[in-house]
A and B are shown apart, each in its own frame.
Chain A
Amino acid sequence: MLNNNTCPREQEVLDALQSGRMEPLREHLTACTDCADLALVAGFLRNESEIVQEELSRGNAHLPSASFVWWKSKLRAKRETQEQAMVPLRIAEKAALGAGGLAAAATAWWFWPSATQATALLSPSMVLLAGTAAVCVMGFALYAVFAKE
């Protein structure tokens, strides 16, 4: 079971670390495990923090300026707002495409008997030409819808 009680002099240790005046606490640190742990750990972490601050000051690590982060955030917010504004339009486009597809299928189904009769009267090359034209028109329509995405 871990003992959760700590030494009442912990704040003194932290203050001493801050000021760099550890000498008056030397005796206590040899006798008190909690404070010795605290001095060791807090000292180690603050040392780490100073190393990082030095990295930043010496330019070994780069932190963007406030203006740059603000500007970039604004651009991103703009893009996201723009995307949000486009959502209803994209839904409408998809719905229109679906409705168009259904209408085309219904029309084809409706006219299929008369179309087969008509093709019987045409030459094979005319049928091929008409088929190619239909595929091209459908391909262009699909491209027009999806190209923006």
Chain B
Amino acid sequence: MSDFVTTGNVFVPALEQAAEETFQMDEARFHAFYERTSRPLWAYLSRLTGDRTAADDLVQESFYRLLRVKLPDGGDAMLKSYLFRIATNLVRDEWRKRKTQPPALELEPERIEGRNPESRHGEQHESRAVLEHAMQSLKPREREMLWLAYVEGSSHQEISQVCGLKTASIRPLLLRARRKLAGVLRGKKVAHA
């Protein structure tokens, strides 16, 4: 690749190198980090947005922004929290722009029907309609917190960083969201707090 790139009638020297220099990690570290975090991030985004295509775009956008921002001090766990925070903010921005609530989640009936959750997790008595209703009934922030806590195993501090909330408020909010989802999954009506 040439060291010079034509822009209109002006030559900008070593533009490619200049662009790469704005990245906050080298290619090897990026590869390793991407391999570890892209699948969990895609899972989080696809269940948060209910839209696989949007999840594809958001994953790429999140990693791009991570490359361009000044990274926080700390290890890979901190970096992962930061990545999820970027992704969460992107989803919120998108909803704000559209001024709509997140859509119903895409669930695959054949997969769900093919499972036996009763034997896997004890108390689940699912049907596609119940699952859809369960996820729809949650607010976006509740989806975020529950997913981070019970799928990602994030601590309250990590959840607070991703969701932009105070650490002390995570416990009651999480508990409320959990009770709400449990109620819906049991087919009960849960009073909104």
Out of A39, A52, A56, name the residue touching B122 (CB < 8 Å): A39
Contact size range, A: 35 or more
Is the pair B46, A52 in contact by a Cβ cutoff of 8 Å?
Answer: yes
Q: Say yes or no for A70: interface residue by CB 8 A criterion.
A: yes
Find out whether the CB atom of B121 lies under 8 angstroms from the CB atom of A43. Answer: yes
Assuming the contacts A41-B178, A73-B64, A78-B5, asked whether A63 and B56 have C-beta atoms less than 8 A apart, the reply is yes
The answer to whether B150 and A77 have CB atoms under 8 Å apart is no
A40: contacting residue among B12, B43, B124, CB under 8 A: B124
Residues 70-111 of chain A: 1 if any B CB is under 8 Å from the residue's CB, otherwise 0? 101110111011100110010000000000000000000000
Does B12 contact A85, Cβ atoms closer than 8 Å?
A: yes
A63 touching B181 in the complex, CB below 8 Å, given contacts A29-B123, A40-B123, A82-B12 = no
Whether B175 sits at the interface, judged by CB under 8 Å, is yes
Contact of A78 among B8, B16, B150 (CB under 8 A): B16
Q: Is the CB of B181 within 8 A of A52?
A: no
Would A73 and B23 be within 8 Å (CB), given that A2-B172, A81-B18, A85-B15 are in contact?
A: yes
Q: Does B163 contact A (CB under 8 A)?
A: no
Contact status of A55 and B124, CB under 8 A, knowing A47-B117, A61-B46, A66-B31: no
B106 to chain A, nearest CB (A): 10
Is A73 within 8 A of B8, CB to CB? no
Bound Cα distance from A70 to B15, whole angstroms: 16
Assess whether A82 is in contact with B23, with CB atoms less than 8 Å apart: no
B42 at the interface (CB under 8 A from A): yes
Chain B's interface size range is 35 or more
Tell me the minimal C-beta distance from B72 to chain A in angstroms.
Answer: 19
CB within 8 A of A4: which of B47, B68, B171? B171
- Within 4-46 of B, Cβ neighbours of A (below 8 Å) are at 5, 7-8, 10, 12, 15-16, 18-20, 22-23, 27, 30-31, 34-35, 38-39, 42-43, 46
**Contact across chains for B47 and A44 when beta carbons are under 8 A apart:** no
Chain B residues, CB < 8 A from A37: 178-179, 182
A148 surroundings in chain B (CB, below 8 A): 8
Footprint of A on B, CB under 8 Å? 5, 7-8, 10, 12, 15-16, 18-20, 22-23, 27, 30-31, 34-35, 38-39, 42-43, 46-47, 52, 55-56, 59-60, 63-64, 67-68, 107-108, 111-112, 115, 117, 120-124, 126, 131, 134, 146-147, 150-151, 171-172, 175-176, 178-179, 181-182, 185-186, 193
A sample of 18 cross-chain residue pairs with beta-carbon separation below 8 angstroms, ordered by A number, consists of: A2-B172, A4-B171, A6-B171, A17-B121, A20-B120, A39-B121, A44-B121, A46-B151, A48-B47, A48-B151, A52-B46, A52-B47, A64-B56, A70-B31, A74-B23, A82-B5, A86-B7, A86-B10
